[in-house]
Structure 1
Amino acid sequence: MRMIFWAGFWAFVIDQISKYVVIHMMELARIRSIDVLPPLLNFRYGENRGINFGLLADGSDLSRWILISLAIAICIAILIWARKNAPRPIAKVSAGLLVGGALANVVDRLIYGYVLDFLNMSCCGINNPFVFNLADVFIFAGALGLIFFAEGDDKPSKNKPRNSKAKKAG
């Protein structure tokens, strides 16, 4: 659990610091747009009241609390699952990244009523209109890590017979 905690802690802290620096100290909330390495990396101010791509973004308090509750329930489920089923360190780190990112976005919803987004990336003549934050990156990386690196119990053990019905000698 220690590895999950620290991965989640640092994902949470890095996301919250990045949002504070870019949105408040660099005043992105006021100026709305900063070209960092155009078109690859730009800062664009965004308030996400829903989930990815604006889903459930009606702005109602009910939607906000449903999304907060759902995120917390998913975090609890991931922690319970990881405690029992994630023996590999990379799977534990992945679980921590996912939980830390999700909780960072929950804190945004609690403080602001929406998730602060500021990263925008475009490439190769494609203008990406969407913005995201580092918590979203941690959630995505954590989910991918769990998909690719979590070991399941579906592998047969060397000591257990493959057939559940043992043949009787006789």
Structure 2
Amino acid sequence: MATKKTNTFSSKPKSSNGLFGIWLGLSAIVILLDQISKITIERTFQFAELYPVTSFFNLTLAYNKGAAFSFLASESGWQRYMFTAIGVVASLVITYLLKKHAAQKLFCWALALIMGGAIGNVIDRVMYGHVIDFLDFHYKDMYHFAAFNLADSAICLGAALFILDELRRVKK
């Protein structure tokens, strides 16, 4: 008598816990790539040293004691603790949202990228007292966009995906 074999790799959707793990893993990858890139730049460059890559892009080593675009960078030091606290609280809220909405792919991609970037920059603030930036885009050496890093890039990409997800949700 033949018995029916069961397929252990069924096509059932992953559980929320399984998807939650994937989103945390994505955040961890962002953190890892961000920290590896910052350590590499820190060991390779002197502060403010420029390495031209193209006519509009340099690698450099810059320190940012503030937030995006050096916002509050010239303050006395309290901003380090405020931005660290904001990053930690945001990561806790995002973790809750990832767990609760694990099946919403675009939403969770956005949140996982934002959380990975936030934690990457929190690590810098805790370890060094500033964020390490190294990507320097410019126009004809006249206008330099504020230097940034992979964590900042992940946060911006995550924010763009979040907006796209909200626009798609509103459209429905």
Please confirm whether the aligned pair reaches a TM-score higher than 0.5, indicating the same fold: yes
Distance 1:154 1:36 in 2: 41
Q: Verify: 1:14 aligned to 2:33, yes or no.
A: yes
The structural deviation recorded for 1:97 is 1.0
Distance 2:118 2:108 in 1: 15
The structural deviation recorded for 1:48 is 0.6
Native 8 Å contact 2:72 2:79 kept in 1 = yes
Native 8 Å contact 2:41 2:61 kept in 1 = no
Deviates more, 1:102-111 or 1:77-86: 77-86
Gaps of 5+ in 2: 1-19
Aligned equivalent of 2:78:
62
Aligned residues: 152
Aligned equivalent of 1:137:
153
Change (3 A) 1:7 1:127: same
The structural deviation recorded for 1:122 is 2.4
The structural deviation recorded for 1:57 is 1.5
TM-score by length of 2: 0.77
Change (3 A) 1:154 1:43: closer
Aligned equivalent of 2:144:
128
TM-score by length of 1: 0.78
Aligned equivalent of 2:97:
81
- What letter matches 1:35 in structure 2? P
Distance 2:73 2:47 in 1: 22
Aligned equivalent of 2:22:
3
RMSD over equivalenced CA pairs, Å: 2.4
Gaps of 5+ in 1: 156-170
Percent identity, aligned pairs only, is 27
Change (3 A) 1:77 1:127: same
Distance 1:130 1:12 in 2: 21
Matches within 5 A, 1:81-120: 81-85=97-101, 87-120=103-136
